[in-house]
Structure formats: structure tokens, C-alpha cells
Amino acid sequence: MQIEDFAQKNTVKKKNFNLNFTISKAPKKAKKLDLHQDISNYLDKNQYSFSEDMQEMIPKDTPPYLDNGEKYVERIARALKFFKQCSLIGPSGTGKTHIVYLVAELAGLPLWEINCGLQTSVFDLFGRYVGLGKENWIDGLIVNWCRDGGILYLDEANMMKQDVATRLNPILDQRGHLVLTEKDNELIHRHEHAYLIISMNPFSSEFAGTKPLNAAMRRRMSVWLNFDYMSVGDKIDEKEIDLVCHRAKVNRDDAEKIVKIGAKLRQEYQQGDLPYGPSVGDLANWAKIVADGTTVEIAAEETIIALTADDFEVQEEVRAIVKRVCGGDKFERKFV
């Protein structure tokens, strides 16, 4: 008697027969949702020491980030260790901000976040005197980061004001310092564990306000990582279905429909036919409504259809894709 796929061999002998068998533990299947990413080879949280106030700035309970084997988390950590800074580029909804929060949490680093699309002044970012005279100086966010360390995250970096980008240049090259011209040219050296991550949408007319990144800053970014959606068109990533199931507690059949619809919408978006491509978070929110007891089609009305655009004709296009993937002509638009 032979039992296959076992490793430890044993023999039992009794009178007129021999029984040969092997025993081993069956190999465990790798988890599709890996919650335990290890970047300690590059950024070891045990080597950092921050004040209690700074520790409050370390992200907590960040959901796992899934990719198609690109190992973005490890590559970002490696770039920060070797070069102190890196750049992330990709369309909205591909998880750039999410992964920055995850890296900060895994590394145990405070996160300083600036959205460069907002009209933030140099004074807010670098500091200024308050009141009369030159007695009460308040450091801006970038100065605090330079003094105290952590990850400075510049979102929508290709919408950054030119005067802000120019002030950052000496921090990011071999000089590694910031000159506070507003404060008698005080020289602030970059903290040993002060890291920078910038992210941006691709420069194009569809992303209003974007412009080519300042050439001087571009030269200072040694690593560039391109992000894309997990599922696009007919390419469906099983891990994204798993993730939607995991986040929304929805059955797999519905999750599969939602991801397939999302993939079609992303394809239309990349071709310029739709104004918005849904993120995995958008799909998970849609799935949560479905998990509450409604159908994929009806839940689409108050989530993905309305989210994509306000334009009635665009909504009809999205509605047609939902209907086609769900397979049937029974569903009719509920709201007129």
C-alpha cells in the first residue's frame, strides 16, 4: 500500500504482510492576501527613535497592498535606503498613496503628507514669523520633517509650485541641507532618517493642472516606479477578486462581476472614452452595498455609475457595461 505525496517513510511488519507508508505534513498553499510584508532588510523600525508626538504620526492598520509580483513595497523601501527618495507615477486609483502609508507603517516612520495640488504657500511649508518683530518663529511642515525625520510624501508633485520645488533642491542632492532665508539664512541639515516620496499622475491634458516635473527635481529622483490597475479589460487578477471579497465580505460570484466591470471601465478610461477609472477601493465600496443584500446592478446606481460622471450619456455607457457583464436584459435603470 503506497500513499503518494508524503515524505517520512515507515514500515509495519506483522506476520505475513508488510505495510509500507509515508507520513508528512501537506504543503500549505500560499496565502493570496499576505499581511506580513518584511522590509527590515532596508528599513528596520528598531533602529529609529522618535518622540511620543512623532510616533502618533506613524500610520496604523493600513490594509495590505496587492500587486502582480512587482514587489512595490520592497522596491520603495530599497530606494529609500539607498537614495533617500523615490518617485511613484500612475493614474488615480492605482494605490500610490495607499502604498506610501503601508511603507511608513512597516518601517515605523512618521508620515508628513502634502498635496501639491492645493494652494499651499511657501510660508506654510517652510515657516514664518508670527506677531510683530522676529521673536516668534514657527517651522513649516517641510522644515519639521528636515529637522525630525520620517517620510515626506508629496502627492500630485507635478502640480507643485516652482518656488517650492526650487527650495527643495539642496535638500535632495549631496548638500543635504535647507537654507531658511526667512530666518537669517539658518542652515538646517537633513535628518539621518528623513526620506522623501513623490507621486504624480502622468502628465496629460486629462489631469488638469499637471505639468512636466521640474527638471532639477527629476534629476534628483534616482528611482521611478510605474503603477497600473490590477485588472484591465479582459485581464482579470484573481487577487483583486480575493481582495474585494476580503474587504466587503461579499460572495465570490458577485465580487468577480464587480471586478470584471471595473476592468472594463478602466479600459474605457485609458482609451479616453470615460472620465474616471475605478480604484480597488471604489469596487470594494460597491461590493459592501451588494453584501448588504442588494444586487450588483442596483448597487451600481448609487456607487460606480454616479461616481464615474455626472453626465447622463456617460452614465448610460457605464450602465450598459454593468448590464452586459451581469448578463441579461432584465435589469432596467431604476432612477430616471
Q: For the whole model, what pTM was predicted? A: 0.78
Read off the pLDDT of each residue in 229-234 and give the average, rounded to a whole number: 92
* pLDDT confidence tier of residue 212, bands split at 50, 70 and 90: confident
- Of the CATH numbers 3.40.50.300, 3.40.630.10, 3.30.70.980, 2.80.10.50, which one belongs to the domain with range 45-226? 3.40.50.300
Q: How far is CA 115 from CA 152, 193, 290, 299, in A?
A: 11, 22, 33, 32
- DSSP designation for 214: P
Read off the pLDDT of each residue in 26-30 and give the average, rounded to a whole number: 37
- Give the span between the Cα atoms of 144 and 134, in whole angstroms: 19
**pLDDT digits over 146-191, tens only?**
999 999 999 988 888 888 888 899 999 999 999 998 888 899 999 9
Name the one residue in this structure whose C-alpha cell is 517513510.
Answer: 9
- All 3 cell numbers of residue 88? 511613484
Exposed / middle / buried, residue 299 (Cβ in 10 Å: 0-12, 13-18, 19+): buried
Task: Give the pLDDT of residue 306.
Answer: 94
Lowest mean pLDDT among 63-77, 97-111, 188-202, 261-275: 63-77
Distance from chain centroid for Cα 165 = 23
**pLDDT digits over 310-332, tens only?**
999 999 999 999 999 998 544 44
Spatial neighbors of 184 by CB under 8 A, at least 6 apart, are none
Q: For the residues of 55-100, what is the DSSP string, one character each?
A: HTTS--SPPP---SS--HHHHHHHHHHHHSEEEEE--TTSSHHHHH
Percent of the chain with pLDDT over 70: 84
Mean pLDDT of the chain, nearest integer: 84
**pLDDT digits over 44-66, tens only?**
999 998 999 999 999 999 988 87
301 phi, psi to nearest 5 deg: -60, -40
β-bridge mates for residue 127, sequence order: 139
Name which of 45, 42, 27, 37 is nearest 67 in CA terms: 37
> Are 296 and 288 contacting, i.e. CB atoms less than 8 angstroms apart?
no
- All 3 cell numbers of residue 118? 492645493
- Give the span between the Cα atoms of 260 and 230, in whole angstroms: 11
